[in-house]
Amino acid sequence: MSVRFHTVAVDGIDIFYREAGDASRPTLLLLHGFPTSSHMFRDLIPQLADRYHIIAPDLPGFGQSAMPARDAYAYTFDNIANTIDRFTEVLGLASFALYIFDYGAPIGLRIAARHPERITAIITQNGNAYLEGVSEAFNPVQAYWANPTDENRAALRGFLAPETTLFQYTHGADASRVSPDGRSLDDFYLARPGNDEIQLDLLLDYASNVAAYADFQAYFRAQQPPLLAVWGKNDPFFVPAGAEAFKRDLPRADIRFFDTGHFALETHAAEIGAAIAGFLAATIG
């Protein structure tokens, strides 16, 4: 198995992506979250590439993808979903399963709701779509949504600090199993000039994701996509109730918890990979 690294222009935006596996096999699209990149899938991709065609892009403003200026590109979840939607079309992905994590969840679910006929299955790893899943850790962000002042914006800069990245990677996890490489790379990308303002724009726009939960849930009820939730149960941001809530609209959803934190692949890639392989074999072949 080998991973190929590509960059493709999508409506003038260069999108970097990792690709592995045979393109004639069913495709799995991996969507990362904050503040990371497709690098987070480095241990998962080899477990699935012998059976599936794996595509893992970096979102605009993240990783190796382009980081256009804020006056040239709107850093909203709607717009990033537009770009990734077009990315799948540029690559000619007629149908695919989705792996959604953190920010990747509202992006992927926007695409799924627009094009339900393209989605073969959904794996959500701490990718929330229900109010029950939003923890008190979001309180400072919610204060910014309610009152988007410069003072409330400045109060969120702590979310971009290396100490917070470390917390996201290690809280609720066996820290001795968490490689420092991923968080160090994330800190490098966050420290690029101008990236802080991009991330603060996205924290403000996260309110649009909560507003879209009802639409995502309507999509689940209408389309009944096969869904596997693989959840780090100690996640301080997206708590287990958010995983269990999928059952309300998708009674056949497979919900599995792992004794780790937000970045569950850092410690449980083998276990999660095995769960995904079994789920996909039973749903898409």
Task: Name the residues annotated as catalytic.
Answer: 262
Alpha carbon of 201 to those of 82, 145, 158, 183, 219: distances in Å?
17, 11, 14, 21, 27
Cα dihedral: 205, 140, 239, 259 (round 10): 110
Residues 6+ apart with CB under 8 A from 58: 15, 16, 17, 32, 37, 38, 64, 65
Question: Which of 56, 61, 140 lies closest to 93 in space, CA to CA?
Answer: 56
Q: Give Dmax (Cα) for the chain.
A: 52
> Using an 8 Å Cβ cutoff, are 17 and 77 in contact?
no
Give the strand pairing for 3-10 and 13-20. antiparallel
Please name every residue paired with 8 in a beta bridge, in sequence order, or none if there are none.
15
Dihedral angle computed from the Cα positions of residues 216, 242, 31 and 190, in that order, rounded to the nearest 10 degrees: 120
